[in-house]
Amino acid sequence: MIINLKNTTKQPMRIKAFLKSKGLSHRLISTAKHEGTMKIDGHKVSTTDVLDAGAELNLRLPKEKSDANVPFSFKPVEIVFEDDNWLVINKPVGLSSVPGPSNREDTVVNRVKGHLKDQGSKDLIPHVITRLDRDTSGVMLIAKNRLAVGVLAPQIENHDIEKKYFAFVQGTLKEKEGLIDKPIARAEDGIHREVSETGQQAQTRFQLIQQYDTYALVEVELLTGRTHQIRVHFASLGHPLLGDQLYGGPMDKKIVRQALHATSLKFVDPLTDQTHLFEVPMPQDMENLKNV
């Protein structure tokens, strides 16, 4: 993996401090120093050398070898955007994000791994940034190498990646917009999540888009990223998602999975300082719920 990083500040910086400013961890900087190479204008440098303002650092890291426990899948993946470091896809319903005990053969990770191999990439470990439940559709962000993951880490930790969803929820909403601020913890069965004072902070902002007779369409923004957060929060208000059997949602509305779709994702690429916004349309099973 080779990448060029430009010092866009007006001041020279020691390379170690420069790499830290880009979000690289101490471990990744150490890997670059001892296992990779760093060059300025074709000359090898060390982390103690200085990168002038406006100058570029050429950074080479060892390739990430394929994990034999995660097989390649060459089934199709719908690509929304791709460059050297990022892959944005539109995940279909029924496809898990990552391999697990019950499925190690065909997940987003397996398919992206196959896609990378087809491209001739030497880095064959996809890094899922925004995971979706198996039966949630929509936009997902995947880093194609560990450097991309490293520089995005501050945005991940600070919940700065903007994620918006469409959801159909049961009942009539009293408020047209609001903030659900309830901590979430794992339930005793290990499968469910539940609102609990002992849980982790979880915040969900919502806006009513359309009220129907017995259910509503809402746009939801995740301010944190807990497992099943949207599903748990709306169920706790007495408005479970249509089709969400796990959390008590109605199963008679002509949709056989939770009516939840990740519709947009926005983040800043730390390697280029460019802001990216990606949007994907609602799938047909949810579109059908609008036409009643």
Residues with catalytic function: 133
Q: Of 178, 176, 233, 171, give the one whose Cα is nearest residue 202.
A: 233
By the 8 A CB rule, do 62 and 38 touch?
no
Q: Of 256, 233, 227, give the one whose Cα is nearest residue 135.
A: 256
By the 8 A CB rule, do 124 and 182 touch?
no
Q: What are phi and psi of 89, to 5 degrees?
A: -125, 165
Secondary element (H or E) of residue 18: helix 15-21
By the 8 A CB rule, do 7 and 151 touch?
no
14-17 long-range contacts (CB < 8 A, ≥24 apart) are: 14/47, 14/48, 14/49, 14/50, 14/51, 15/45, 15/46, 15/47, 15/48, 15/49, 15/50, 15/51, 15/57, 16/47, 16/48
By the 8 A CB rule, do 25 and 77 touch?
no
∠ CA 72-73-74, rounded to 5°: 120
